[in-house]
Structure 1
Amino acid sequence: MKIRHFLTFLILLSFSVYSQDPKIESLRKLSIDSLKKLAKERAKLPTDTILVDIYSVLSGKNLYKDNIESKKYATIAYKLASKIKDEDGMASGRNDLALIELSNGNANKAYEMLKTNLKYYSSVNNFFDLGTNYLNIGVVHGSQAQYQKAIENIEKAIFYYKKSKAPNTRLAGCYGMLGNAYSCIPDMEKSIKNYLKADKLETEINDKISILNNIGKAYSDFKKYDLSIQYYQKALLVNDKIKSPYHYMNTMLYIGELYLKLSNPKKAISYLEKGKYYAEKENHLENKILINRNLSEAYSILGDYKSSLIYLKKYTELKDTLNKKSNTAAVKEIEAKFELERQDAKLTLLENQKKLNEADLKKSKIVMVLGATVLLLFIILSWYWYKRHKIKTLLNLQQKEQFKTELKLKEVESTLEGQLAERKRLAQELHDGLGANLAGIKLSVINHFNKLGDKNESLIKDLDGVCNDVRLMSHNLIPPEFSKDTFEQIIKRLIQNYASQTQTKLHLNIDGSKDLEKMTIHQKTLLYRILQEIVTNAFKHANCSSISLLVTAFNDYINIIVEDNGIGFDTTKQFEGIGLKNIRERIKDLNSYLTIDSSPGRGTVLQFDIPI
């Protein structure tokens, strides 16, 4: 939710792909249809920077609405700019493509494009676009929960915007992004301070409403509910000037959610019903889902279970609709292909009819038209049957594959149970056998040296180290009982166990513990072993005084971030040991990959996602 909150301003800042050029600003005022027509006319002339700018603006206008179209136009703009060696146009194209890649979830690709632009804009002292580029890099870092890096880059953007004397609306956007970043850290004082700066500078009404809503959300997050209500009400008053259904929908939803927090279901219902009206008007599926869920909860608190059930059913239906969107898209693609073939058949029929008219064979014409019509119907019905049969066959194959997968999972779980039992036995042997013997040997050695009058502290210290290693090995081998305890409880015990054996400070933060239980036993076991290995590696090699572990569970994946303040290492040169290789292999078994951010003297950050 923090990352989603951080990206609230991404659509608001869509203007950032354009240069500070009067020609670009005049093109932005044109509609998409007018721009397409203009592009068609300009394409007849030799390629120039104006045509590049037209396609760049077309890309920006489609951004976040239709990313496929946006990427198409951005690619055309970049290729045309390359053709005529227009460096500014190429940089603008890379900027457009970077924002598209970011909105599609390809943060690393977006970052590399923006880094290339930094070199160019620095070389030509283009401070305005340099500010835009740093702002977009800040957005990329924010999307990856790297909030400190996001703040550093947004502050650079402010510096260059001020240096280029950029309009206040640009600075307002930057301060709004800083407010989001500090809200995610969280730092209430700095978050609110930057939001208020944005509010003061912003003059564009749509952006101002978004900023006021963000201030309201920030105060709500920090439990300053009275101030939160004040800013939501300000957003409504400003929106009364333009009467935007979209902004009414969002603000009504936020106020309704706030009154639910305050256990005031009647007021919550009042605002949620208004929000529902505007969500229906805007046909905004995601907000309709949220509003119906909140209305069900509000009526349930009031004891009106009949109304609560009605909204709960509606919420379930809308969720199903959202889940079916991908399937609907596939069906539409098949229908489009079918329609194209139907149109082709229709054209063939018209051509035949034209030939019959020219030959003036009235009777033959009727026969041929009838025959062609019957044939067309037969082709359409045959094609429809074939497609339906193909889809049915595909579904059967998918069901068989799913059955095979389930069998394999059961085999893996059985093998895993055997391995866990053997680990438990080995752990008991180490603890009760070897551990007890070592403790006895240690006492005998101490008694022996006491009789000799020699303490020999170094030998005793070495024996203590061996005993601790055996104890740690036995604890690590004991498999956690996932069927009895929650994963959160098991991880907390793991961290407490490590904390009791070292001076290193360990910090654990778990968000979304219910979603953690969606993992299978196999996934839980692998993740448990991965976290064991990461923390053990940090103890042994990082020479750190603090380790932070952040586990965030979402609806369909779990994000893991482990950070230490140790010596760090050069990821491009460091040879990976067995421990790190084991970690990568286990993460690969979870259908994921490991990202490492480290440099000498700056600690290490490990991050990966687990699909659930």
Structure 2
Amino acid sequence: MIKCFLPLLVFFTLQVSSQSKNDRIEEVISLRLKSKDQKIKLEDRIKYAVQSVDLAKQIKIDSSLILSNRQLSLLYYEAEAYDKYLRLNKENIEIAQKLNDSTSIAISNDNIAIYFHYNQVNDSAYFYYSKALKFYDDKKLSRKATILLNIADLQDTEKDYYGSEENAINALKIFENLPETEDNLDNLWILNNLLGIVSLKLGHYDKSLEYHDKAERVSRNMRNGFYNKIYSTNNKAFVYRKKENYSKAIELYSSLIQIRDQYDDYDPAFYPLVIDNMAYTKLVSGSKNFDEMERLFKEAYKISDTLNDATTKLQISIDLSKFYLNRKQQDSSLKYANMAYRIAKETSSNEILLDALKVLSKLKEGEDGKSYLNEYIRVQDSLLTVERSKRDKFARIEFETDKVEQANERMSEQLIWLLAISGGLLVTLFLLYIIITQRAKNKELKFEKEQQQANEEIYNLMLSQQDKVDEARAGEKKRISEELHDGVLGRLFGTRLSLDSLNFSEGKEAISNRATYIKELMTIENDIRKISHDLNTDFVSGSGFMDIVSELIEKQTQAYQLKSTFNYTDDINWEMVHNKTKINIYRIIQESLQNIYKHANANGVKISIQLKNNVICLSIVDDGDGFDVNKSKKGIGIKNINSRVNEVHGKAEFNSIINKGTEVSITIPYKN
């Protein structure tokens, strides 16, 4: 009876647990829906969203937590709690990465990018847009195109016009193949308008007009496209002015002035901008109707001043200053130039700031004029530097995100292979289990297990042997490299310097010296041959070690034109010192002398070898320029010395004072 009841009890418990979890999932969804209800106050909607997040964490369903976090972050953005907005989106990226949820990764990066874009932190916005773009799949074409549009806008702001044009065209191609919804039409207008502006900045006037014409055609299909249409007309008029087709520009501006009543309530700052452009176009066209121009300029200025619209007032002020400069009314020109200068500084409008500085440099005489001109040059150079830096940074961000994408692709590929291998292994084990169970061949299973263990041992032995071979090869390569760099190349360098010093010498003594150095070159040739054929040759055998060291110091210092002193103790029995130790001491001295010549600008060097407390103490002191020890630790010379000291279980210490010199202290155990 108990045996029958127990399974029923377990089944009933599991059913209740499952039902309880489903109920809580439904509650999470319900709270999330309440947080989206626009009829509820924002404060209460945030409370519902927080409850939804907390409950999703309790039931430990990450996919539900991502959705709740996302909704709460949007409410925080609406409430201008930007720190919490960023934190939740970054948290969502981490959760989505664990789930391999590329869409959620893309959305969170996209949300962060929008925040930075709005706050004009353009490099961060570009970084997160680029990451989002890599994770959106082809099902999210509209969102991918919108990101391309936003990136193009950032690049236009940072004056990367070619990059902006490329991304805007790619976005345009996508939107042109999407259904004609209001959002898609709005984006089509924005893209054509942006391409018209960018083409103008690149000096492609006809192409600019084509894009503005396309934008105007798109506006006709929009539900509320009237305002888009008048902005396109204004932009076209500006392009015609740049093309010096003044009559066409004036015609378009006039058409906008005539319909003022249709847009004045919607955008009161547009009319003063239009009449300012009309007046300035007449000025540059060579019109002599100065009274009408002045009336239009002043009307535009008065309206913008009443509206307290800094951007429009700035443009009108600089145009007025140019108008009065043209009329040679310096006081009036100066008044509006100063006004434009002040507003441009306050609003960081750098292009108009440059215009204002140029006008002021013409109006002011003497040092004041030079001061404005110098500021103009400084601001222009600074802007060019910043522009180049931003473009380089964008390029680096794109390169790094490409690297991340490649790494993700490799990880995905490795994961697929791992899953495939794991699946194959599971199937194999399952089939093996069935065979073993059906045939009950325990002896065969034991035999197979023993075989497998034997194979693993043989394989591990082979790996161990290969490691030893590789280690030996690596050690041999390193030793050969150090021998060539520290030995042969150093002597070649010294001999070449000595021969160079004899280029302009004549006579028997010079001939004799040349012969000596040619013999030295032959000796070096033999040394190279010896290194190739017998790497373990003890080059110090057959002569006193201190004599060899003395000869090295004498030759090197003579070639380097250094004064030298060499002191050593007789307490060391060099015959009892291992050859490897002697070789490394020799090479350390040689490397140090070469470093002193190349980098120290020293006049003299003192070298000492002593025995203290059963330790060989090598000291090399120069009177050169000195160097920052912390900054130079990665130099090849210091690396080689440290490598050699480590080989003989010694210690190296570098002490240097700028403009006073350097001391290298080496201590090596002495085994008598």
Shorter-chain TM-score tier = 0.3 to 0.5
TM-score by length of 1: 0.42
Which structure has the greater CA radius of gyration? 2
